[in-house]
Amino acid sequence: MNIGLIAHDNRKEDLLAWVEHNVKILGRHRMTCTGTTGKLIESLFLSKKIDPVIKKLKSGPLGGDQQMGSRISSDRIDMLVFFWDPMAAQPHDPDVKALLRLSVVYNIPTACNRSTADYLISSPLFDNKAYVVMKKDYSKYINREVK
């Protein structure tokens, strides 16, 4: 499984605490992270003497959120954990909204807080390789007649 991990500055500690709590489970999977978040998560894993498989993208405001969205739309992300900060405006708010929109369009399990992330990682479906994400058929939209 490829898990997308993102946290805004005021939520990085929360995400790191969640990752540390689940380090053994997450260590069995590939992770794709935006810039600084990826560096922090990689350091956490290495401090536990676990060599993680982490792809680090650009920082969110520099295009990392858009890179993550691209990976979602090309079926390269299976689950997204995005601890965004609801108390602070972000300079890249349109990118944040677009990323969350894509996670819904492509039916990617998405957690924006620790409780939801806990539910996802503890679900019997989490490590179930037989589970197939149902994708909505957008062919009517794609093939609509434009006037």
Name the superfamily (CATH) of residues 2-142: Methylglyoxal synthase-like domain (3.40.50.1380)
Rounded CA separation 68/76 (Å):
9
**Residues 63 and 47 sit within 8 Å (Cβ to Cβ):** no
Cβ neighbours around 79 below 10 Å, total: 20
Distance in Å from the first CA to the final CA of the chain: 42
Phi, psi of 134 (to 5 degrees): -80, 125
Contacts of 19 (CB under 8 A, 6+ apart): 5, 26, 41, 44
Cα separation of 20 and 41, whole Å?
Answer: 9
Contact 19, 27 (CB under 8 A): no
Residue 51 bears catalytic tag: no
The per-residue pLDDT for range 7-51, each reduced to its tens digit, is: 999 999 999 999 999 999 999 999 999 999 999 999 999 999 999
- The pLDDT assigned to 89 comes to 83
Q: Over 90: is that where the pLDDT of 2 sits?
A: yes
Catalytic residue among 9, 14, 51, 65: 65
Which residues partner with 5 through β-bridges?
Answer: 33, 81
Q: Give the Cβ contact number of residue 104 at 10 Å.
A: 11
The string of DSSP codes covering 68-96 is: HHHHHHTT--SEEEEE--TTS--TTHHHH
At 108-140, the pLDDT tens digits run 999 999 999 999 999 999 988 888 888 889 988
Please identify which residue in the block is written with the tokens 């539910």.
119
Domain boundaries, the chain: 2-142
Its pTM stands at 0.93
